[in-house]
Structure formats: C-alpha cells, structure tokens
Homo-oligomer: A and B are copies of this chain.
C-alpha cells in the first residue's frame, strides 16, 4: 500500500552516492567566493561528467537557471536537504584502536550533519579517557547513552572477531544505520542499513588493475 504519488521522490542509489561529492565541491567553490557555477565547472570539481551531474540534480528538482548555472549557496542547501543533513546526526564510534581514534578525530564531520556523540571500547580500562572532547565509555553504557544522545548512526572500528557482537549491541540499543570497518559480513535485520569500508578489498582491486597493466605491457612487447 502506501502509494503516494508525488512527494516521495525516488533518488537512485548511484546518485545518492555522488551527492556528497557535489556538496564538497560546492563548499570548495563557495570558499573561493564564487556564487554561481555551471554544471561543467562543478562536474569537473567533483570528478564526473556534466551530463551526469545535471541528470543527478534533476532527481532532486530544478534548481538551476538555464543559460546561467547554479546558485552555489542555494544548491548546497538543496543537496543537504536531500541527504538529510538539515538535522545533525549523533554518531557513536565503537573500538578505540588507531582506526577508531582516527575516525573520532576526523574533521570530515565538519562538512556538516554529524557530530561524534559517544565513543566505546570493549576494554573497560579505557573508560574515562578522552579522545578529542568525548570520553570513552564502556559498552555497558551503550543503551543508556543511545537513549540520552539519540544515537542513530554507529561506526564499528573493532577487530573482525568482535564486530558481529558489537553490531548486535548497537542494534539492541536502537541504532539502525551502521558503518562497518571490520572485514566481516554482518548479519542484521532487514530494517538495518550497513555499509562496509574495507581496506583489503580496495587494495585487491588496485592490485588487479596493476596486474592488468603489466599484462597489457607484456602483450605490447610480444607483438
């Protein structure tokens, strides 16, 4: 049921994945004091083709001016709205190893929409230590803090072995969106969203292409 004709804009996943890039490009452009850009300029700054950018933006609405371009400030607001960045999302990070600390200190949050609201580690002896402004809490405090801070996004930066149980705990605490840095496939209920970032996968893909280049080169020599 539901069926609701107009309001519910369907934005393709591929487009959603590029919007943050456009937003960053707009921020850069704005910092240079420019108030209007063409799709060509913005696309170059974001590393895509201009037709791609225009098609993507067309899914959000019609925010450009024909013959002129896009008003930087306005477009940034519209993209932010589409992504849900008009509210500030409280993020919890679990796992205070090097990676967790790096994430906790990451300034990329500044681009808007997020703040580190709580840090956790399974080692209780880290409790009380501060990373940045935020104290590290033991996992036992998760449910409590989730309630108090309204946590909705969880980041897993633990070793692979504990990732699933940490994930279960996050879900039990009401978190439905998880960013997983551990190299495991998490099992979650269907209403929970997981995204995985995996260094090993990225390196493997690079290695593949690097190998292809060698093969091409060999082939070139051979012929």
Measuring CB to CB, which residues of chain A are less than 8 angstroms from any residue of chain B?
A: 1-4, 8, 11, 16-17, 19-21, 23-25, 45-47, 82-85, 89, 91, 97-99, 101-103, 105-106, 108-109, 111, 113-114, 152-153, 176-179, 183, 185, 191, 193, 195, 197-213, 215, 218-223
Contacts and interface: CB of A to CB of B under 8 A. Distances in A.
Nearest to A3: B218
Contacts of A109: 200, 203
A150 B99 CA distance: 27
Interface of chain A, main secondary structure: helix
27 contacts: A1-B222, A3-B218, A11-B208, A17-B205, A20-B198, A20-B204, A21-B185, A24-B183, A25-B185, A45-B185, A83-B207, A83-B208, A83-B211, A84-B207, A84-B208, A89-B210, A99-B102, A108-B183, A111-B183, A152-B210, A153-B203, A153-B210, A177-B210, A178-B206, A179-B203, A195-B205, A197-B197
A211 B45 contact: no
Contacts of A98: 98-99, 101-102, 105
Nearest to A213: B176
Contacts of A176: 210, 213
Contacts of A204: 19-20, 23, 83, 85, 113
Those 8 A-B pairs whose CB atoms lie nearest each other, nearest first:
A84-B211, A98-B102, A2-B222, A47-B185, A108-B200, A99-B102, A20-B204, A20-B201
Nearest to A85: B207
Contacts of A11: 208
A24 B203 CA distance: 13
Nearest to A200: B108
Contact of A2 (B1, B209, B210, B221): B221
Given A20-B201, A183-B24, A8 B206 contact: no
Contact of A207 (B1, B46, B89, B103): B89
Contact of A199 (B4, B8, B108): B108
